[in-house]
Amino acid sequence: MSVATDSNEKFAQYAHPERLVSTQWLADNLGTPGLVIVESDEDVLLYETGHIEGAVKVDWHTDLNDDVTRDYVDGEGFARLMSAKGISRDSTIVIYGDKSNWWAAYALWVFSLFGHEDVRLLDGGRDKWIAEGRSLTTDVPRPETTQYPVVERDDAPIRAYLTDVLGHFGNPLIDVRSADEYTGARTHMPAYPEEGALRGGHIPSAVSVPWARAAADDGTFRTRGELDAIYRGEAGLNEGDDVVAYCRIGERSSHTWFVLQHLLGFENVRNYDGSWTEWGNVVRVPIVKGSEPGVAPVPARQR
């Protein structure tokens, strides 16, 4: 059973207002049957310091990634995770997290690979909830397990692989990393040197729109008008475009994927999760250094 959506005026301007809830909506709906709240943070211990009442924790690294292959969990692994967290296939899921929902958006994107239908973000995330003085608890819920079905992951609509990107040239690419990563001055994000690459720069023709530009100072998403000005205006995206977004490992670009797909209504947006830690290490793929996007090479034939 889906829980009623948030009729917030700001959200009504977005293409898919049902994908967001406000902190007030969440406070009003705590304990509503059919609603499961998920916290997903960068810091693996943050949930333990205090979380929204009833929220379960999903860790991007230990829960959503396969621990051998560089890939996400499979259908069985996802069903086990959902079951353990008390989530049914028809549950309404609200995800929130630290750092402007950066990791929460990543979790939402992975949940979407399995076609979980009703999954939403808390606008402003953990920081806004706390800034408003709303309560946290350290009580960890012990949900009853569910019979979540084994659904095979369907990557193609929203996930791009290396070969897809090689065949994508001529269509828009958005690089959401910091300016220094884009130009190639750095091969990793400030403070994350272990996720480096052997070459610096960007994928030819990718325009630079750092992910955090989509977030206001309080961590909420910018308004429809502001987002249109950034992505349709500056980045030059047009209705009907087939867009690929990437960053370093695919988490920051999940945030941008959410903005393009759910807030602005682009229907063909894929997240290239291999991102720079793959591209910047692959032998003989084209790379552009400097602040200009560069020219798109002839696209490789897709496999």
**Contact window for other proteins (CB under 8 A) among 24-32, 45-53, 157-165, 264-272:** 45-53
Maximal CA-CA distance, the chain: 56
Alpha carbons 31 and 93: distance in angstroms, whole number? 12
DSSP 184: T
Alpha carbons 253 and 109: distance in angstroms, whole number? 10
Minimum distance, C-beta of residue 245 to other proteins, in the bound complex (Å) = 22
Q: Which residues contact 233 (CB under 8 A, 6 or more apart)?
A: none
Task: Say if CB 128 and CB 220 are below 8 A apart.
Answer: yes
Task: Pick from 2, 4, 7, 48 the residue near other proteins by CB under 8 A.
Answer: 48
Under rule CB under 8 A, residue 43 binds other proteins: yes
Under rule CB under 8 A, residue 44 binds other proteins: yes
In the bound state with other proteins, the residue whose beta carbon lies nearer, of 4 and 44, is 44
Compute φ and ψ for 98, nearest 5 degrees.
Answer: -85, 175
Residue 55 identity? A
**Annotated active-site residue in 247, 249, 259, 269:** 247
Under rule CB under 8 A, residue 98 binds other proteins: yes
Question: If we measure between CA atoms, which residue out of 163, 214, 273, 286 comes closest to residue 20?
Answer: 214
Please list every residue from 180 through 199 that binds other proteins, using CB under 8 A.
190-195
31: left (phi over 0), alpha (psi -120 to 50) or beta: left
In the bound state with other proteins, the residue whose beta carbon lies nearer, of 105 and 166, is 105
Alpha carbons 258 and 46: distance in angstroms, whole number? 23
Minimum distance, C-beta of residue 193 to other proteins, in the bound complex (Å) = 6
Pairing outcome for strands 173-175 and 242-246: parallel
Under rule CB under 8 A, residue 239 binds other proteins: no
- Mask for 241-280, x = binds other proteins (CB under 8 A): ----------------------------------------
Report, in this order, helix, strand and coil percent for the chain, each rounded to 5.
30, 15, 55
Alpha carbons 85 and 88: distance in angstroms, whole number? 9
Under rule CB under 8 A, residue 61 binds other proteins: yes
Alpha carbons 55 and 62: distance in angstroms, whole number? 18
In the bound state with other proteins, the residue whose beta carbon lies nearer, of 28 and 139, is 139
Minimum distance, C-beta of residue 272 to other proteins, in the bound complex (Å) = 20
247 is catalytic: yes
Task: Pick from 42, 53, 180, 226 the residue near other proteins by CB under 8 A.
Answer: 42
Under rule CB under 8 A, residue 217 binds other proteins: no
Under rule CB under 8 A, residue 70 binds other proteins: no
- The catalytic site residues sit at 247
What residue ranges bind other proteins (CB under 8 A)? 42-46, 48-49, 61-62, 98, 190-195
